[in-house]
Amino acid sequence: MKYFRGLTVILFIFTLSISGCTDMGDPLSGGSPGGGSTTISYSGDVQPIFDNACVSCHVTPPSPGAGDLDLTSYAGLTDPSGPNNAPEVIPGDADNSYFVKRLDGSIPPIMPVGGTLTPAEIDLIKEWINQGALDN
């Protein structure tokens, strides 16, 4: 009996030392970047959406047939002499940007024609505007 009790104690201590090692490992694994939003890039994230879905109509030079809006570049999107002589995007305020209202259809007709952008793509563009609509 004494032998078994001794073995139990040894096993108990062994278990403690393993969990001790696990605890010591925690600070090393705690480096994940939690919660912070990532910076959206115009050239890397936003322009590719336009290249894919918009530039077949929104060309350079801007065509009156496509709202006088050139979506081939940042300069075209933010051209102050563009459509309606009003800014398409208000940096930091996606919800009040005319551009976004045309994308979500709150001002019709929805763009692109047929409304083929995914909610994730629209959210990405909105997030870029809310981050200041930078030429990044």
Return the residue of 45, 78, 83, 123 that touches ligand HEC, per CB under 6 A: 83
Which of 46, 69, 89, 94 lies at the binding interface for ligand HEC (CB under 6 A)?
69
Residue pair 111/103 in contact by the 8 Å Cβ criterion: yes
Which one among 39, 56, 96, 106 touches ligand HEC, defined by CB under 6 A? 56
**What tokens appear for 58 in the block?**
């929104």
Should residue 87 be labelled a site residue for ligand HEC when binding is judged by CB under 6 A? Answer: no
The residue (of 111 and 133) whose beta carbon lies closer to ligand HEC is: 111
What is the nearest approach in angstroms of ligand HEC to the Cβ of residue 43? 16
Backbone angles phi, psi at 98, to 5 degrees: -55, -40
Q: Residue for token digits 């930078």?
A: 134
- Residue 77 in the binding site for ligand HEC (CB under 6 A): no
- Complex with ligand HEC: residue 41 or 124, whichever CB lies closer: 124
Residue 63 is classified by DSSP as P
Q: Can you read off the two tokens belonging to residue 104?
A: 């979500």
Residue 76 sits at φ, ψ, to 5 deg, of: -65, -45
Round to whole Å and give the CA distance between 96 and 35: 26
Binding residues for ligand HEC, rule: CB under 6 A, are 50, 53-54, 56-58, 65-67, 69, 71, 83-84, 88, 98-99, 102-103, 109, 111-113, 117
